[in-house]
Chain A
């Protein structure tokens, strides 16, 4: 029987010790009753065993001089007060940049509007050339007369 993804995730939680006591007991009952689930649990344990091998014997340890070397390096850093001031200065510079950018955009839009690029002089019916209007009226009159 193929296990569902939900069952496999539940199994993972169980093996990782992430289920509470009641859920663990319920899952243990299922494990005892469902061979497919038990087989999946055994396989998962094998994978974990192989993973444990990967973790074995690779622990690095700090040298005894690590802390003192680190403190020497830390002394060359700015003081905490300077660091905080630098953070504040960086935030202020960022804010100024944003304000300048916004001002530049506004100025650009203003210039474009002033130059007529934004609110362009698009001709509307109310702004049509009087000669064109006259011509159109004459055409409509002619059409009307021809129907009579």
Chain B
């Protein structure tokens, strides 16, 4: 593979492309954007394959490149269109009926609403939630992908979930069970 043969590279792409698309799909709005980004990531992998040192799993190395590419993409995109990274700007794009907790949202709307909250979290919280909740990476794998300490993984994950919980409480309290303990305001900054 490290010799760079085309068939070996094609095999590598075939093995990891589904996983990569699933990850990048968390950062992209549409399939074309996702495909462009995935192509960029694989071309970077192709260029940098000789620097892979086998100290970690290949997919954690791939994820590292992908997460960096995705966050770069997001920061570029934020200049072009509304893509805020502060959770105070959570997309509250409900119809007005959403303001009534007694009126439950449909499942698809719930998915859209919760996704909007995740998308609006600061990048580092969003990424750690994506890696843990959607990609099911262990703490160790997340630490390798993000090149941070295990303790940082734990604390960042804790804060990310707290931020998500605060936003849910504020915007969609109907998603939480009755008697839910509200998060103290400003407690997770």
A-to-B contact residues, CB < 8 Å:
8-9, 12-13, 16, 18, 39-40, 42-44, 46-48, 50-63, 66-67, 69-71, 73-75, 77, 79-80, 83-84
Contact = CB atoms under 8 A, between A and B. Distances in A.
Nearest to A40: B181
Given A46-B177, A51-B164, A54-B115, A62 B38 contact: yes
A90 to B, nearest CB: 12
Interface in B151-168: 154-155, 157-158, 161, 164-165, 168
Given A18-B139, A62-B21, A71-B10, A47 B154 contact: no
B114 A53 contact: yes
B9 A71 contact: yes
A75 B7 CA distance: 12
B164 A50 contact: yes
Interface stretch (B22-30, B70-78, B96-104): B22-30
Given A47-B168, A50-B114, A54-B111, 15 more contacts: A9-B155, A13-B154, A16-B139, A43-B181, A47-B161, A47-B176, A48-B161, A53-B115, A54-B114, A55-B134, A60-B31, A67-B13, A70-B42, A80-B50, A83-B50
A58 B39 contact: no
A60 B134 contact: no
A55 B133 contact: yes
A77 B47 contact: yes
A44 B132 CA distance: 14
Contacts of B155: 9
Contact of B4 (A52, A54, A60, A80): A80
Contacts of B17: 62, 66-67
A8 B158 contact: yes
B26 A58 contact: yes
A62 B114 contact: no
A48 B134 CA distance: 11
Scoring A48, A55, A73 by chain B CB atoms within 10 A of each residue's CB, the highest score goes to A55
Interface string B1-40: 0011010011001100110011011101001001100110
Sort chain B's interface into a size bin: 35 or more
Scoring A63, A73, A79, A80 by chain B CB atoms within 10 A of each residue's CB, the highest score goes to A80
Which 7 A-B pairs give the minimum distances between C-beta atoms?
A: A60-B25, A80-B4, A54-B114, A55-B134, A54-B115, A53-B114, A54-B118
Nearest to B41: A70
A51 B165 CA distance: 9
A40 B183 CA distance: 12
Nearest to A36: B181
Given A47-B164, A74-B6, A83 B176 contact: no
B89 interface: no
Contacts of B129: 51
